[in-house]
Structure 1
Amino acid sequence: MPSLRQEFRFNDDFTVTPEIKQKFDEYGYIIVRGLLDKEELELITKAIESPDGLQKQRYSLNDPEQRPIDRVIWNHPGNDITGMLARSEKVAGTSEQLMGGEVYHYHSKLMMKEAKTGGRHMWHQDYGYWYHNGCLRPDMMTVFIPVDPCVKANGCLEILPGSHKYGRIEHKFGTILAEADLERVEAIKQQTSLVYVEMDPGDAVFFHCNILHSSGPNNSDLRRWVFLSAYNKATNNPVKKHHHPFYTPLKKVLNDAIRKCTVLTDITGKEFITPGTNSYIIKPPEEQP
C-alpha cells in the first residue's frame, strides 16, 4: 500500500508528537499502521463475531440503492474486550492527545458490509449529524479500525484531506442517512485530492468530525467489518438530551488490558442504539424533539 505523509507506525513507545499533531491538524486525519497486533486482533474479531454478544444487537439499514449496511451501535464502552479497546491508551489516549484535552466515549459501533451486497455511505461529516445533537463545537473525532482488509474493491473509507477546514456543511437529511451538500462537496474536491484509505486489519485511522468522508459499495468477495469509536471533548458537553451520552468520565486502561481481558461477550451496561426504541434515526432539525 502506498505511504502517505500522514501515516505512522504503532509501537510500544508511540505517542502523539508535534509532527503527528501538526499532520492531524493539517489534513484532518492520521493513519496508524499496526495499532492492534495479531493477538489483539484475533481476540477482538472473536468477540465481535460471537453470536452471544454484539451480534444479538445487529440490524440493517439500506443505502439509496437499497443495499444493506449492517451495524451495531452502543453508547458506553463497558468492561468486555471491546470496551477495553475503546478505553485503551492507544485509542482513547491518542484521541485525547490529538484533540488537546480530556475526551469521553460518545459511542462505538460495528459497521458490516457483507461480500457482494454491502451498501455505500454517502459523502458526509460526522458533525453533520452531531451538530443537531446539541454538540456546540466540532471538538469530536472517530477512530476507525478494520478487522478485515479494507480496500477499494470492498468499499474502503474515502476521505477528502483537509476538508475539515471548510467548517460544517449543510446536510440533506433523509429518513435514515444524511448527505452533505453535493455542490459544496464537488467544489471542495477541486481543491484537494480524494484518498482511498486502504488498510490492513488492525490498522487505524483517527479522523476529525468535520472531515468529509464516504465509502463505496462492497461488490467484492471480501467481507468488510470495521470497529469504530467516537469521542467528544469533556468541555463540549451537549446542550440537549439525545440518543448519545452527556459527558461521562472515561476510565482509561493500559494497552495490555486488551490482551488480558477474558470477557469477550458481556454486553452489560453498553446501552445499545436500535431503530424504533430511541432517536437514532435522524430527522431534519425542525422535526427533532
Structure 2
Amino acid sequence: MMITKEQRSLYRSEGYMILPGVIPPAMLAMLREECSYYLGYYDCIMDSRGVQTENISHRGKRYFINNRYRLSSRLWQFIFSDLMAEVARATVGDEAWLMHEQWVVKGAEQGMKFAWHQDSGYVKWYNPTTQHKPYVTCWCTLDEVSEENGTVYLLPHSRGGTKSEIITHIKEDGTNDLIGYTGSDPGDPVVVPAGSIVAFDSFVFHRSGPNLTGNMRRIYLPQYSEKPLTRPDGKPWAMATPFLKDGKNIYNHAEDSAENWGPFPEDKNVVV
C-alpha cells in the first residue's frame, strides 16, 4: 500500500484519511475470528460479575473490549504489520508507540449509538492537566459499514474547530458516554467496504449511529502515539509498546508477552 500525497495532506489539514479495502483477506479473516473469541470472552466476564453494563459496554448492544492483544497469539501480526507501520509513519511520524487497542462491536438490531466526542476528550476527563499531541486512531472495518449499521461520522477540523484543542466533555446519564459537541453539524458518514482503515487524529470529533441491521458491526482499532502518554503520576496512560524508531519497525514479539506485561491497564480510552 502507498498512502498518497492527497491522503497525507487531508490528514494534516482535516485530521483524517480513508484507506478503502487495504487489509489483506487473510488478515481480515484472522481479525474476524479473534473478534468472535473476544466477544465470548467479554460476555463471560459480565456473567461472572452479574452485570449487563460495564462502564460504556452494554451486553448485546455495544462492546468496548480493550487492551487484550497480548492474550492472543496472532493479533500482534496485524498491530505491528508493515501495513500499520505505513499508516503510523504517515500520521504520527517516524517514532510511534502502540498506546491502546480495542474491539468496538455493535450488536445486530439493537446496537447503540455513540455520542460526539474526541478520543483525547476521554484522556482529559481522567487527567484534566494532560498536554499531548494528537495520536492516531485506526478504525479498521471487519464488516462493510453504512449509515444503517452505525458507521462513524467525522467532523473535520475546519468545521469542528478542533485542530489544536481538546474540548472539555460532559458525561451523559444512562450511557456513560462523554459528549464534547452539541452543535447542529451532522458530520460526514464513512461508507466503506470491509477491510478498510479510517485513520483520524484524536482531536477530531466523531460519533456513530445505531445499528439497525440484522448483522453485527465489528471494528478493530489500534491507536498509536508519537511518544507514550502518561498519567499525572508519570505512569503510562494505557500502554507504551515501542513500534517505530527512525521510521523502522522495532517491535520485538519475543519480549512482548503477557508473562512480561503485568496487570491489564484500566479500560478508559474509547472510540465509536
Alignment correspondent of 2:49: none
Determine the structure 1 residue equivalent to 2:105.
112
Of residues 87, 90, 98, the one that matches 2:80 is 87
Q: Against the structure 1 CA distance between its residues 120 and 62, is the aligned structure 2 distance closer, same or farther, given a 3 Å change threshold?
A: farther
What amino acid maps onto 2:167 in structure 1? I
Does the CA contact (< 8 Å) of 2:134 and 2:203 recur in 1? no
| Identical-pair percentage | 20
| Cα distance change of structure 1 residues 161 and 280 upon mapping to structure 2, 3 Å threshold | closer
Flag the 1:242–1:57 CA change in 2: closer, same or farther, 3 A.
farther
Match of 1:221, SS state, is: coil
How far apart are residue 71 of structure 1 and its match? 2.4
Equivalent residue for 1:142, pick from 123, 137, 140: 137
2:268 corresponding residue in structure 1: 280
SS in 1 for 2:204: coil
User: What is the CA distance between 1:57 and its match in structure 2?
Assistant: 3.4
* Structure 2 residue 216 is matched with structure 1 residue 223: yes
* Long gaps (5+) in structure 2: 47-52
Change (3 A) 1:251 1:271: farther
Q: How far 1:74 moved relative to its partner?
A: 0.6
Give SS of 1:165's match. coil
What are structure 1's unaligned runs of at least 5 residues?
1-10, 256-260, 283-289
Separation in structure 2 between the aligned mates of residue 27 and residue 56 of structure 1, nearest angstrom: 37
1:245–1:71 distance in 2 versus 1, CA, 3 Å: closer
- How large is the Cα RMSD of the aligned pairs? 3.6
Letter in 1 for 2:195: G
Shift of 1:111: 0.9
Matching residue within 145, 155, 162 for 1:160: 155
Q: Cα deviation per residue 1:72-121 (whole Å; 9 max; x = unaligned)?
A: 11166576322221111212442232123412111111111111111111
Instruction: Give, as a single letter, the amino acid of the residue that structure 2 aligns with 1:172.
Output: I
Q: What's the counterpart of residue 6 of structure 1?
A: none
- How far off its partner does 1:225 sit? 0.8
When the two structures are aligned, how many residues end up with a matched partner? Answer: 247
How far apart, CA to CA, are the structure 2 residues paired with 1:246 and 1:225? 23
Residue 36 of structure 2 is matched in structure 1 by 49
Separation (CA, whole Å) in 1 of partners of 2:85 and 2:263: 19
Q: Distance in 1 between matches of 2:81 and 2:59?
A: 36
Q: Distance in 1 between matches of 2:204 and 2:99?
A: 17
Q: Does 1:29 align with 2:25?
A: no
1:235-254 pair list within 5 angstroms: 237-240=230-233, 244-245=237-238, 247-250=240-243
Residue equivalent to 1:203: 196
Question: Quick one: structure 1 residues 279 and 227, their matched pair in 2 at CA, closer, same or farther if it must change by over 3 Å?
Answer: closer
Q: Which amino acid aligns with 2:163?
A: K
Q: Closer, same or farther in 2 for the Cα pair 1:150/1:242, shift >3 Å?
A: farther
2:187 to 183, 194, 213: 194
One-letter code of the match for 2:74?
A: I
Tell me, yes or no, if the aligned pair for 1:33 and 1:202 is still in contact at 8 Å: yes
User: Is the alpha carbon distance of 1:153 and 1:216 closer, same or farther for their aligned partners in structure 2, counting shifts above 3 Å?
Assistant: same
Q: Quick one: structure 1 residues 135 and 83, their matched pair in 2 at CA, closer, same or farther if it must change by over 3 Å? A: farther
Amino acid at match of 1:143: C
| TM-score, length basis structure 2 | 0.76
Moved more, 19-28 or 213-222: 19-28
Q: CA deviation at 1:232?
A: 1.7
TM-score when normalising by structure 1: 0.72
8 Å contact from structure 2 (residues 15, 204) kept in 1? yes
Q: Write out per-residue CA displacement over residues 10-38 of structure 1, whole angstroms, 9 at most, x where no aligned residue.
A: x3xx1x44433211112210000122122
